[in-house]
Amino acid sequence: MRPSRPPHPSRREVLVAGIGAALAPSLSALAQSPRMLTRPIPSSGEALPVIGMGTWQTFDVGGAANERAPLAQVLQKFFASGARLIDSSPMYGRSEAVVGDLLKQSGQEKTPFLATKVWTRGKAEGAAQIQASLQKMGHGRMDLMQVHNLLDVDVHLPVLRELKAAKKIRYVGVTHYLRSAFDDLEKHIQGSKLDFVQLPYSLAMRDAEARLLPAAKEHGVAVLVMEPFDKGNLFRKMKGRPLPDWASEFDCTSWAQFFLKFILGHPAVNCPIPATSDPAHLEDNVKAGFGRLPDEKLRARMVKLFES
């Protein structure tokens, strides 16, 4: 399980530092420009938009209209940008069901690339949980099913492969959020014939660069990045600091875009999945998927700035 929820980051204050959100192009303006960048899923060649969305805590809400209305706006803006991947888990409380409900209400059940996880022990328990997730979130369909935090992974992966062969799901993956699990993640990247791996990676936590990202690139495994803002710590660290002028070299107009474009600058990464229930934050996040990305020289400069 993940640690308890940290204090809400002062992102709104950080957004107005430096260039600020007022100078960022609107989604309507982006709609007139080239589409969101995509990267191919190595195992199939399918193009996947480079910004996704997580649902941990943000979509775990009740049925009241005032709780769900902002999330409906988040989904509308997400799809308007060209983004598609939505990631969830049975671990995330009501999130799967809320996503499924909102997609059905909007008539957009077939729009997203849906990803969720199996998070239990035992083959029968896992099969039951998978079926429940397919119905709650996907109304019978699912693009990607992952073994959450490698829990009972040797039991669940064969089941997921059977479901993929039967065309009940399209892709198979594994996840973990702890550095201590990186050796096990690497073994599965190398030997389990995965389509996806999901792992933590950010300016503050670059451990995956050493072995996991190169292994994923070598073995043709797509990479989803959780915790791209390091639980809000990146915003807290940069609070009050202006965005550097050279951020314009990779079409960056906010700290959120700075952090996400750093991740996307790594060629092994397919899609970071920031979570938000705030439509304004969602608009800011998806803009990282447009325009230029930093090369290795700029990424080294980004690291230096962050560590200064």
Percent of the chain with pLDDT over 90: 88
Residue 7 predicted with pLDDT over 50: no
Task: State the average pLDDT over residues 282-296.
Answer: 98
Task: State the average pLDDT over residues 240-256.
Answer: 97
49-73, pLDDT tens digit by residue? 999 999 999 999 999 999 999 999 9
86-120, pLDDT tens digit by residue? 999 999 999 999 999 999 999 998 899 999 999 99
Residue 3 predicted with pLDDT over 80: no
Q: Is 113 helix (H, G, I), strand (E, B) or coil?
A: strand
Phi, psi of 144 (to 5 degrees): -130, 130
198-229, pLDDT tens digit by residue? 999 999 999 999 999 999 999 999 999 999 99
Query: Which amino acid does the sequence have at 177?
Result: Y
**Residue 277: CA atoms inside 13 Å, Cβ hemisphere, count?**
17
pLDDT band at 252 (very low <50, low <70, confident <90, very high): very high
Q: Is 275 helix (H, G, I), strand (E, B) or coil?
A: strand
Domains belonging to the chain, first-starting first, are 45-231+268-291 (3.20.20.100)
**What is the chain's alpha carbon radius of gyration, rounded to the nearest angstrom?**
18
141 touches 114 (CB < 8 A): yes
| Helix or strand holding residue 222 (H, E) | strand 222-226
Q: What is the pLDDT of residue 266?
A: 98
Q: Which two tokens stand for residue 9?
A: 């980051």
Q: What is the pLDDT of residue 24?
A: 46
Cβ burial 178-202 (10 Å sphere, 16+ → b, else e): eeeebeebbebbeebebbbbbbbbb
Average pLDDT, the chain: 92
